[in-house]
Structure 1
Amino acid sequence: MAESVIIGLTGPTGAGKSTVAGILGELGCAVIDCDQTARQVLVDCEPCVRELRQEFGDDIVAENGSVDRALLARRAFSSHEKTHRLNEITHPWILRRVQKEIDEWKAAGKEFIIVDAPLLFESGAEKLCDKILAVITPLPVRLERIIRRDNIDREMALSRIRAQQEDAYYTERSDACLRGDEDPGELRRQAAALLERWRR
Protein backbone atom coordinates (compact mmCIF):
# COMPACT_ATOMS: atom_id res chain seq x y z
CA MET A 1 0.00 0.00 0.00
CA ALA A 2 1.30 3.48 -0.91
CA GLU A 3 2.37 5.70 1.94
CA SER A 4 0.10 8.66 2.77
CA VAL A 5 1.08 12.16 1.65
CA ILE A 6 0.34 14.80 4.31
CA ILE A 7 -0.46 18.20 2.77
CA GLY A 8 -0.55 21.35 4.91
CA LEU A 9 -3.16 23.78 3.60
CA THR A 10 -2.90 27.41 4.67
CA GLY A 11 -3.43 31.02 3.64
CA PRO A 12 -4.72 34.35 4.93
CA THR A 13 -8.34 34.99 5.90
CA GLY A 14 -10.74 35.38 2.99
CA ALA A 15 -8.37 33.77 0.48
CA GLY A 16 -10.65 30.79 -0.21
CA LYS A 17 -8.91 28.10 1.82
CA SER A 18 -12.22 26.49 2.85
CA THR A 19 -13.26 26.28 -0.80
CA VAL A 20 -9.99 24.53 -1.70
CA ALA A 21 -10.34 22.20 1.32
CA GLY A 22 -13.85 21.31 0.08
CA ILE A 23 -12.54 20.58 -3.43
CA LEU A 24 -9.73 18.39 -2.04
CA GLY A 25 -12.31 16.53 0.04
CA GLU A 26 -14.40 15.93 -3.10
CA LEU A 27 -11.26 14.62 -4.82
CA GLY A 28 -11.02 11.92 -2.13
CA CYS A 29 -8.60 13.47 0.36
CA ALA A 30 -9.12 13.20 4.11
CA VAL A 31 -9.42 16.74 5.52
CA ILE A 32 -8.44 17.60 9.10
CA ASP A 33 -9.95 20.97 10.07
CA CYS A 34 -7.56 22.42 12.68
CA ASP A 35 -10.06 25.13 13.69
CA GLN A 36 -12.52 22.40 14.61
CA THR A 37 -9.77 20.50 16.46
CA ALA A 38 -8.93 23.69 18.39
CA ARG A 39 -12.58 24.14 19.38
CA GLN A 40 -12.70 20.51 20.54
CA VAL A 41 -9.60 20.99 22.71
CA LEU A 42 -11.45 23.79 24.56
CA VAL A 43 -14.33 21.37 25.20
CA ASP A 44 -12.61 18.23 26.45
CA CYS A 45 -8.93 18.86 27.21
CA GLU A 46 -8.90 19.55 30.96
CA PRO A 47 -5.15 20.30 31.34
CA CYS A 48 -5.35 22.86 28.53
CA VAL A 49 -8.45 24.56 29.98
CA ARG A 50 -6.81 24.59 33.43
CA GLU A 51 -3.78 26.45 32.04
CA LEU A 52 -6.04 28.90 30.18
CA ARG A 53 -7.93 29.67 33.41
CA GLN A 54 -4.68 30.40 35.22
CA GLU A 55 -3.60 32.74 32.42
CA PHE A 56 -6.86 34.45 31.44
CA GLY A 57 -9.06 34.20 34.56
CA ASP A 58 -11.41 31.62 36.09
CA ASP A 59 -14.43 33.38 34.60
CA ILE A 60 -13.54 32.25 31.06
CA VAL A 61 -15.19 28.96 32.08
CA ALA A 62 -18.96 29.18 32.51
CA GLU A 63 -20.91 27.39 35.28
CA ASN A 64 -21.76 24.54 32.93
CA GLY A 65 -18.02 23.94 32.44
CA SER A 66 -17.80 25.26 28.87
CA VAL A 67 -15.20 27.82 27.81
CA ASP A 68 -16.64 31.23 26.95
CA ARG A 69 -14.78 31.51 23.65
CA ALA A 70 -15.83 35.13 23.04
CA LEU A 71 -14.48 36.26 26.43
CA LEU A 72 -11.29 34.24 25.97
CA ALA A 73 -10.79 35.78 22.52
CA ARG A 74 -11.32 39.33 23.84
CA ARG A 75 -8.65 38.81 26.47
CA ALA A 76 -6.26 36.78 24.36
CA PHE A 77 -6.30 39.17 21.41
CA SER A 78 -5.97 42.32 23.52
CA SER A 79 -2.18 42.30 23.00
CA HIS A 80 0.51 40.44 21.05
CA GLU A 81 1.87 39.02 24.33
CA LYS A 82 -1.52 37.62 25.33
CA THR A 83 -2.08 36.14 21.85
CA HIS A 84 1.36 34.54 22.09
CA ARG A 85 0.43 33.02 25.48
CA LEU A 86 -2.84 31.65 24.11
CA ASN A 87 -0.94 29.96 21.27
CA GLU A 88 1.77 28.70 23.62
CA ILE A 89 -0.85 27.00 25.77
CA THR A 90 -3.18 25.63 23.08
CA HIS A 91 -0.94 24.72 20.13
CA PRO A 92 0.84 21.71 21.72
CA TRP A 93 -2.54 20.15 22.63
CA ILE A 94 -3.97 20.88 19.17
CA LEU A 95 -0.90 19.39 17.46
CA ARG A 96 -1.21 16.18 19.49
CA ARG A 97 -4.82 15.81 18.33
CA VAL A 98 -3.89 16.54 14.72
CA GLN A 99 -1.11 13.92 14.84
CA LYS A 100 -3.61 11.39 16.22
CA GLU A 101 -6.05 12.18 13.39
CA ILE A 102 -3.25 11.84 10.82
CA ASP A 103 -2.31 8.44 12.27
CA GLU A 104 -5.95 7.29 12.11
CA TRP A 105 -6.28 8.33 8.44
CA LYS A 106 -2.95 6.66 7.63
CA ALA A 107 -4.17 3.44 9.25
CA ALA A 108 -7.35 3.70 7.16
CA GLY A 109 -5.14 3.80 4.04
CA LYS A 110 -5.91 7.38 2.89
CA GLU A 111 -3.55 8.41 0.11
CA PHE A 112 -3.78 12.17 0.80
CA ILE A 113 -4.38 13.76 4.20
CA ILE A 114 -5.00 17.52 4.29
CA VAL A 115 -4.10 19.48 7.42
CA ASP A 116 -6.24 22.60 6.98
CA ALA A 117 -4.67 25.20 9.31
CA PRO A 118 -4.75 29.00 9.08
CA LEU A 119 -1.82 29.11 11.56
CA LEU A 120 0.07 26.21 9.97
CA PHE A 121 3.52 27.79 10.36
CA GLU A 122 2.85 29.69 13.59
CA SER A 123 1.67 26.51 15.34
CA GLY A 124 4.50 24.33 14.03
CA ALA A 125 2.00 22.07 12.24
CA GLU A 126 4.01 22.31 9.01
CA LYS A 127 6.47 19.86 10.64
CA LEU A 128 3.76 17.18 10.39
CA CYS A 129 3.43 17.70 6.61
CA ASP A 130 5.20 16.41 3.50
CA LYS A 131 3.98 19.23 1.24
CA ILE A 132 2.58 22.72 1.83
CA LEU A 133 -0.16 24.29 -0.30
CA ALA A 134 -1.00 27.99 0.13
CA VAL A 135 -4.17 29.70 -1.08
CA ILE A 136 -3.82 33.39 -1.90
CA THR A 137 -6.23 35.91 -3.39
CA PRO A 138 -5.94 39.63 -4.25
CA LEU A 139 -6.72 41.97 -1.36
CA PRO A 140 -9.90 43.60 -2.79
CA VAL A 141 -11.52 40.17 -3.27
CA ARG A 142 -10.56 39.07 0.24
CA LEU A 143 -11.92 42.28 1.72
CA GLU A 144 -15.33 41.83 0.07
CA ARG A 145 -15.48 38.17 1.12
CA ILE A 146 -14.69 38.91 4.78
CA ILE A 147 -17.28 41.72 4.95
CA ARG A 148 -19.91 39.39 3.47
CA ARG A 149 -18.91 36.26 5.37
CA ASP A 150 -18.57 37.79 8.85
CA ASN A 151 -21.15 40.54 8.38
CA ILE A 152 -18.72 43.25 9.52
CA ASP A 153 -17.83 46.71 8.22
CA ARG A 154 -14.92 47.53 5.93
CA GLU A 155 -12.72 48.93 8.73
CA MET A 156 -13.13 45.81 10.89
CA ALA A 157 -12.39 43.59 7.87
CA LEU A 158 -9.25 45.60 7.09
CA SER A 159 -8.04 45.31 10.68
CA ARG A 160 -8.38 41.51 10.46
CA ILE A 161 -6.38 41.50 7.25
CA ARG A 162 -3.68 43.75 8.75
CA ALA A 163 -3.38 41.43 11.76
CA GLN A 164 -2.27 38.63 9.42
CA GLN A 165 0.84 37.93 7.41
CA GLU A 166 1.52 39.21 3.88
CA ASP A 167 1.04 36.81 0.94
CA ALA A 168 4.82 36.35 0.64
CA TYR A 169 4.91 34.81 4.12
CA TYR A 170 2.78 31.93 2.75
CA THR A 171 4.14 31.68 -0.81
CA GLU A 172 7.82 31.59 0.21
CA ARG A 173 7.19 28.71 2.63
CA SER A 174 4.98 26.61 0.35
CA ASP A 175 5.57 23.96 -2.29
CA ALA A 176 2.65 25.23 -4.39
CA CYS A 177 0.07 28.04 -4.45
CA LEU A 178 -3.46 28.26 -5.74
CA ARG A 179 -5.41 31.44 -6.47
CA GLY A 180 -8.62 31.42 -4.46
CA ASP A 181 -10.40 33.73 -6.92
CA GLU A 182 -10.17 31.26 -9.83
CA ASP A 183 -13.29 29.83 -11.43
CA PRO A 184 -14.32 26.76 -9.32
CA GLY A 185 -13.88 24.39 -12.28
CA GLU A 186 -10.38 25.72 -12.94
CA LEU A 187 -9.52 25.51 -9.24
CA ARG A 188 -10.63 21.89 -9.19
CA ARG A 189 -8.54 21.10 -12.29
CA GLN A 190 -5.44 22.69 -10.70
CA ALA A 191 -5.99 20.89 -7.39
CA ALA A 192 -6.36 17.53 -9.17
CA ALA A 193 -3.17 18.19 -11.16
CA LEU A 194 -1.30 18.96 -7.93
CA LEU A 195 -2.43 15.71 -6.31
CA GLU A 196 -1.32 13.83 -9.41
CA ARG A 197 2.10 15.46 -9.15
CA TRP A 198 2.44 14.73 -5.43
CA ARG A 199 1.25 11.12 -5.63
CA ARG A 200 3.91 8.83 -4.11
Structure 2
Amino acid sequence: MKIAITGGIGSGKSFICQHLAKRGIKVYNCDEAAKQLLRTSPQMQLQLSKLVGPELYRNNQLQKKILASFILENSRYARAVDDIIHPAVARDFETSGFDWLESAILFDSNFISRTPIHFVVCVTAPTPLRIERIVKRDNITPEQAKKWVDRQMSQAEIISRSNYEIINDGQHDINRQLDQLLQTLEENELLNKK
Protein backbone atom coordinates (compact mmCIF):
# COMPACT_ATOMS: atom_id res chain seq x y z
CA MET A 1 0.00 0.00 0.00
CA LYS A 2 1.48 3.36 -1.09
CA ILE A 3 0.57 6.36 1.04
CA ALA A 4 1.10 10.03 0.14
CA ILE A 5 1.31 12.95 2.55
CA THR A 6 0.41 16.29 1.02
CA GLY A 7 -0.76 19.75 2.02
CA GLY A 8 -0.17 23.38 1.22
CA ILE A 9 2.98 25.32 2.00
CA GLY A 10 3.34 25.96 5.72
CA SER A 11 0.84 23.28 6.74
CA GLY A 12 3.54 21.24 8.50
CA LYS A 13 4.04 18.17 6.29
CA SER A 14 7.68 17.81 7.36
CA PHE A 15 6.65 18.08 11.02
CA ILE A 16 4.20 15.20 10.55
CA CYS A 17 6.87 13.18 8.72
CA GLN A 18 9.22 13.70 11.70
CA HIS A 19 6.52 12.26 13.97
CA LEU A 20 6.12 9.30 11.62
CA ALA A 21 9.90 8.76 11.64
CA LYS A 22 9.77 8.50 15.46
CA ARG A 23 7.30 5.64 14.92
CA GLY A 24 9.70 3.91 12.54
CA ILE A 25 7.95 5.03 9.34
CA LYS A 26 10.34 6.44 6.76
CA VAL A 27 8.84 8.90 4.28
CA TYR A 28 10.31 9.56 0.82
CA ASN A 29 10.65 13.33 0.33
CA CYS A 30 9.85 14.25 -3.30
CA ASP A 31 11.40 17.74 -3.01
CA GLU A 32 14.70 16.40 -1.67
CA ALA A 33 14.72 13.63 -4.28
CA ALA A 34 14.15 16.15 -7.10
CA LYS A 35 17.05 18.31 -5.84
CA GLN A 36 19.29 15.25 -5.61
CA LEU A 37 18.36 14.09 -9.13
CA LEU A 38 18.97 17.58 -10.51
CA ARG A 39 22.52 17.32 -9.13
CA THR A 40 23.29 13.69 -9.99
CA SER A 41 21.24 12.39 -12.93
CA PRO A 42 23.13 12.83 -16.25
CA GLN A 43 19.96 11.95 -18.18
CA MET A 44 17.91 14.65 -16.41
CA GLN A 45 20.71 17.20 -16.81
CA LEU A 46 20.91 16.48 -20.54
CA GLN A 47 17.12 16.75 -21.01
CA LEU A 48 16.91 20.00 -19.05
CA SER A 49 19.91 21.51 -20.84
CA LYS A 50 18.27 20.74 -24.20
CA LEU A 51 15.06 22.38 -22.99
CA VAL A 52 16.43 25.42 -21.14
CA GLY A 53 19.81 25.93 -22.79
CA PRO A 54 23.46 24.90 -22.35
CA GLU A 55 24.02 27.58 -19.68
CA LEU A 56 21.73 25.72 -17.22
CA TYR A 57 24.64 23.67 -15.87
CA ARG A 58 28.01 25.35 -15.39
CA ASN A 59 30.84 23.05 -14.22
CA ASN A 60 28.16 20.42 -13.47
CA GLN A 61 26.42 22.89 -11.12
CA LEU A 62 22.74 23.71 -11.66
CA GLN A 63 22.22 27.44 -12.18
CA LYS A 64 19.04 27.77 -10.08
CA LYS A 65 18.31 31.36 -11.12
CA ILE A 66 18.34 30.38 -14.80
CA LEU A 67 15.95 27.50 -14.15
CA ALA A 68 13.66 29.69 -12.00
CA SER A 69 13.55 32.41 -14.67
CA PHE A 70 12.70 29.83 -17.33
CA ILE A 71 9.89 28.32 -15.22
CA LEU A 72 8.40 31.71 -14.30
CA GLU A 73 8.54 32.97 -17.88
CA ASN A 74 5.70 30.81 -19.13
CA SER A 75 3.36 28.12 -17.73
CA ARG A 76 4.13 25.89 -20.76
CA TYR A 77 7.82 26.07 -19.83
CA ALA A 78 7.02 25.13 -16.23
CA ARG A 79 5.01 22.10 -17.44
CA ALA A 80 7.86 21.05 -19.73
CA VAL A 81 10.30 21.13 -16.80
CA ASP A 82 7.78 19.17 -14.66
CA ASP A 83 7.49 16.59 -17.46
CA ILE A 84 11.22 15.92 -17.11
CA ILE A 85 11.56 16.05 -13.32
CA HIS A 86 8.35 14.37 -12.12
CA PRO A 87 8.67 11.07 -14.04
CA ALA A 88 12.25 10.76 -12.77
CA VAL A 89 11.13 11.35 -9.18
CA ALA A 90 8.26 8.85 -9.60
CA ARG A 91 10.68 6.19 -10.95
CA ASP A 92 13.09 6.90 -8.09
CA PHE A 93 10.26 6.52 -5.53
CA GLU A 94 9.12 3.24 -7.09
CA THR A 95 12.62 1.76 -6.75
CA SER A 96 13.32 3.30 -3.31
CA GLY A 97 11.60 0.65 -1.21
CA PHE A 98 9.56 3.34 0.57
CA ASP A 99 5.78 2.96 1.03
CA TRP A 100 5.21 6.58 2.11
CA LEU A 101 5.98 9.76 0.20
CA GLU A 102 5.70 13.47 0.95
CA SER A 103 4.71 15.72 -1.95
CA ALA A 104 3.54 19.32 -1.69
CA ILE A 105 2.31 19.27 -5.28
CA LEU A 106 0.69 15.83 -5.39
CA PHE A 107 -2.49 17.26 -6.94
CA ASP A 108 -1.29 20.65 -8.26
CA SER A 109 1.11 19.05 -10.73
CA ASN A 110 -0.86 15.81 -11.09
CA PHE A 111 2.09 13.90 -9.63
CA ILE A 112 -0.50 11.47 -8.25
CA SER A 113 -1.04 10.14 -11.79
CA ARG A 114 2.67 9.30 -12.21
CA THR A 115 2.91 6.58 -9.54
CA PRO A 116 0.32 4.34 -7.87
CA ILE A 117 -0.94 5.94 -4.65
CA HIS A 118 -3.56 4.07 -2.62
CA PHE A 119 -4.24 6.51 0.21
CA VAL A 120 -3.73 10.28 0.54
CA VAL A 121 -3.22 12.07 3.86
CA CYS A 122 -3.45 15.87 3.82
CA VAL A 123 -1.96 18.07 6.51
CA THR A 124 -3.90 21.28 7.14
CA ALA A 125 -3.55 24.42 9.25
CA PRO A 126 -5.34 27.79 9.33
CA THR A 127 -4.00 30.19 6.68
CA PRO A 128 -2.75 32.85 9.16
CA LEU A 129 -0.72 30.17 10.97
CA ARG A 130 0.67 28.85 7.66
CA ILE A 131 1.75 32.39 6.69
CA GLU A 132 3.38 32.87 10.10
CA ARG A 133 5.33 29.60 9.68
CA ILE A 134 6.49 30.50 6.14
CA VAL A 135 7.64 33.97 7.28
CA LYS A 136 9.74 32.42 10.09
CA ARG A 137 11.12 29.58 7.95
CA ASP A 138 11.97 31.55 4.79
CA ASN A 139 12.61 34.98 6.33
CA ILE A 140 10.17 36.70 3.96
CA THR A 141 7.34 39.20 4.42
CA PRO A 142 3.79 38.08 5.23
CA GLU A 143 2.72 39.48 1.82
CA GLN A 144 5.27 37.26 0.03
CA ALA A 145 4.20 34.26 2.11
CA LYS A 146 0.54 34.87 1.24
CA LYS A 147 1.44 34.95 -2.49
CA TRP A 148 2.99 31.49 -2.14
CA VAL A 149 -0.12 30.21 -0.34
CA ASP A 150 -2.41 31.76 -2.98
CA ARG A 151 -0.43 30.22 -5.87
CA GLN A 152 -1.20 26.71 -4.66
CA MET A 153 -4.38 24.67 -4.82
CA SER A 154 -6.81 25.71 -2.08
CA GLN A 155 -6.73 23.78 1.16
CA ALA A 156 -10.43 22.94 0.74
CA GLU A 157 -9.71 21.35 -2.65
CA ILE A 158 -6.79 19.32 -1.24
CA ILE A 159 -9.03 18.06 1.60
CA SER A 160 -11.77 17.06 -0.86
CA ARG A 161 -9.29 14.95 -2.87
CA SER A 162 -7.68 13.27 0.16
CA ASN A 163 -8.67 10.20 2.17
CA TYR A 164 -7.62 11.53 5.56
CA GLU A 165 -6.91 14.91 7.18
CA ILE A 166 -4.41 15.71 9.94
CA ILE A 167 -5.05 19.12 11.50
CA ASN A 168 -1.73 20.69 12.49
CA ASP A 169 -2.91 23.85 14.21
CA GLY A 170 -1.16 23.49 17.57
CA GLN A 171 -4.51 22.65 19.20
CA HIS A 172 -5.30 19.15 17.90
CA ASP A 173 -3.25 16.26 19.35
CA ILE A 174 -0.90 15.09 16.56
CA ASN A 175 -0.11 11.74 18.19
CA ARG A 176 -3.78 10.89 18.64
CA GLN A 177 -4.46 11.79 14.99
CA LEU A 178 -1.52 9.62 13.86
CA ASP A 179 -2.78 6.71 16.00
CA GLN A 180 -6.17 7.03 14.28
CA LEU A 181 -4.52 7.29 10.85
CA LEU A 182 -2.44 4.13 11.38
CA GLN A 183 -5.51 2.28 12.67
CA THR A 184 -7.48 3.38 9.58
CA LEU A 185 -4.65 2.21 7.32
CA GLU A 186 -4.46 -1.11 9.13
CA GLU A 187 -8.22 -1.60 8.68
CA ASN A 188 -7.92 -0.72 4.97
CA GLU A 189 -5.04 -3.18 4.53
CA LEU A 190 -7.19 -5.93 6.08
CA LEU A 191 -10.08 -4.98 3.80
CA ASN A 192 -7.79 -5.08 0.76
CA LYS A 193 -6.58 -8.59 1.65
CA LYS A 194 -10.13 -10.07 1.74
Q: TM-score, normalised by structure 2?
A: 0.88
Return the alpha-carbon distance in structure 2 between the equivalents of residues 138 and 21 of structure 1.
Answer: 19
Q: Does 1:193 align with 2:180?
A: yes
Shift of 1:182: 3.1
The one of 133, 140, 155 equivalent to 1:152 is 140
Give aligned pairs, total. Answer: 185
Shift of 1:183: 4.2
Shift of 1:91: 0.8
Shift of 1:54: 1.5
Runs of 4+, deviation exceeding 4 Å: none
* AA at the equivalent of 2:144: M
The one of 111, 115, 121 equivalent to 1:124 is 111
Shift of 1:168: 2.0
Deviating more after overlay: 125-134 vs 88-97: 125-134
* Cα root mean square deviation, aligned: 1.6
Shift of 1:137: 1.0
The one of 37, 43, 49 equivalent to 1:41 is 37
Return the alpha-carbon distance in structure 1 between the equivalents of residues 4 and 70 of structure 2.
Answer: 29
Deviations 1:74-97 (A, max 9, x none): 321233222111111111111100
Q: Look up the match of 1:181.
A: 169
Return the alpha-carbon distance in structure 2 between the equivalents of residues 162 and 78 of structure 1.
Answer: 19
Q: Look up the match of 2:27.
A: 31
Matches within 5 A, 1:163-182: 163-182=151-170
Where in structure 2 are there 5+ consecutive unaligned residues?
Answer: 190-194
* AA at the equivalent of 2:168: G
Where in structure 1 are there 5+ consecutive unaligned residues?
Answer: 106-112
Shift of 1:21: 0.9
Q: Look up the match of 2:76.
A: 81
Shift of 1:58: 1.2
The one of 58, 61, 80 equivalent to 1:66 is 61
* AA at the equivalent of 2:37: V
Q: TM-score, normalised by structure 1?
A: 0.86
